Chain A
Amino acid sequence: DAKTTQPTSMDCAEGRAANLPCNHSTISGNEYVYWYRQIHSQGPQYIIHGLKNNETNEMASLIITEDRKSSTLILPHATLRDTAVYYCIVRPYRDTGNQFYFGTGTSLTVIP
């Protein structure tokens, strides 16, 4: 069962920051927030994950609110290749027995 709520779709101008929100109001203390994306006709791709501190890597930044009930994935300079479906997932960290529940995600379209 998906534990997250995301907007169905979003648009972003090329070169601008894309901010993708995710609500996870029932997140447990041992659950991390993960983001994956799926470009058309490809398998999902890992982006980033975090617990409560903001995280940044070469692909994106993850901002988690202090109460951990919501988060935002930020693509700082969106390109056309970032057009994809973005999935926000919560799961216990390194819980090998737990699966990923992908939900339906946010379809991001980057506009030239």
Chain B
Amino acid sequence: DAGVTQSPTHLIKTRGQQVTLRCSPKSGHDTVSWYQQALGQGPQFIFQYYEEEERQRGNFPDRFSGHQFPNYSSELNVNALLLGDSALYLCASSLERNTDTQYFGPGTRLTVL
């Protein structure tokens, strides 16, 4: 049973560019959450998707957007990249009826130059 997978593992972009990160949830999970983790900090909630809709959003600008597909996989898009967007981006999946136990992927390390 595959756990949560994310791609790519690492990514280097320059300021102003756009990036798309991908996440496949754990088998059977229907809810996907995205987190940003800056160096030395805990993960910060970006948003959560369920039934292909954004259900809740953290304190992140509109440059951060997402999508969930019918197979429950998800994408995180970041436009107009800033140096401060450099971080580890984590995807977590769960069941809608039990979001207490979230299963995290290994993350995508984004570096903005």
Q: How far is the CA of A32 from the CA of B101 in the complex (A)?
A: 12
A93-B100 in contact given A42-B106, A43-B4, A99-B33 (Cβ < 8 Å) = yes
Main secondary structure of the interface of A (DSSP, over half): loop
Whether B105 lies near A43 (C-beta < 8 A) is yes
Interface 1/0s, chain B 41-53, versus A by CB < 8 A? 1111100101000
Whether B55 lies near A96 (C-beta < 8 A) is yes
Q: How far is the CA of A105 from the CA of B100 in the complex (A)?
A: 18
A104 cross-chain contacts in B, Cβ below 8 A: 40-42
Of the 9-residue stretches B14-22, B65-73, B89-97, which lies at the interface with chain A? B89-97
Q: Which of B65-110 contact A (CB under 8 A)?
A: 90, 92, 96-107
B44 cross-chain contacts in A, Cβ below 8 A: 102
Q: How far is the CA of A84 from the CA of B60 in the complex (A)?
A: 27
B27 adjacent to chain A (CB < 8 Å): no
B92 cross-chain contacts in A, Cβ below 8 A: 43-44
A46 cross-chain contacts in B, Cβ below 8 A: 100-103
Whether A99 lies near B58 (C-beta < 8 A) is yes
Select from chain B the residue with minimum beta-carbon distance to A99.
B45
Whether B105 lies near A34 (C-beta < 8 A) is no
A102 cross-chain contacts in B, Cβ below 8 A: 35, 42-44
B102 cross-chain contacts in A, Cβ below 8 A: 44, 46, 100
Which residue of the partner chain, among B42, B58, B107, contacts A105 with CB atoms under 8 Å? B42
Whether B48 lies near A43 (C-beta < 8 A) is no
Q: How far is the CA of A18 from the CA of B13 in the complex (A)?
A: 41
Q: How far is the CA of A32 from the CA of B21 in the complex (A)?
A: 32
Q: How far is the CA of A95 from the CA of B98 in the complex (A)?
A: 8
A34 cross-chain contacts in B, Cβ below 8 A: 100
B31 cross-chain contacts in A, Cβ below 8 A: 96
A45-B99 in contact given A87-B42, A99-B33, A102-B43 (Cβ < 8 Å) = no
Chain B's nearest CB lies how many Å from the CB of A88?
Answer: 11
A68 adjacent to chain B (CB < 8 Å): no
- Can you sample 10 A-B contacts with CB below 8 Å? A32-B100, A34-B100, A41-B106, A44-B104, A46-B103, A94-B99, A97-B55, A98-B56, A103-B42, A105-B42
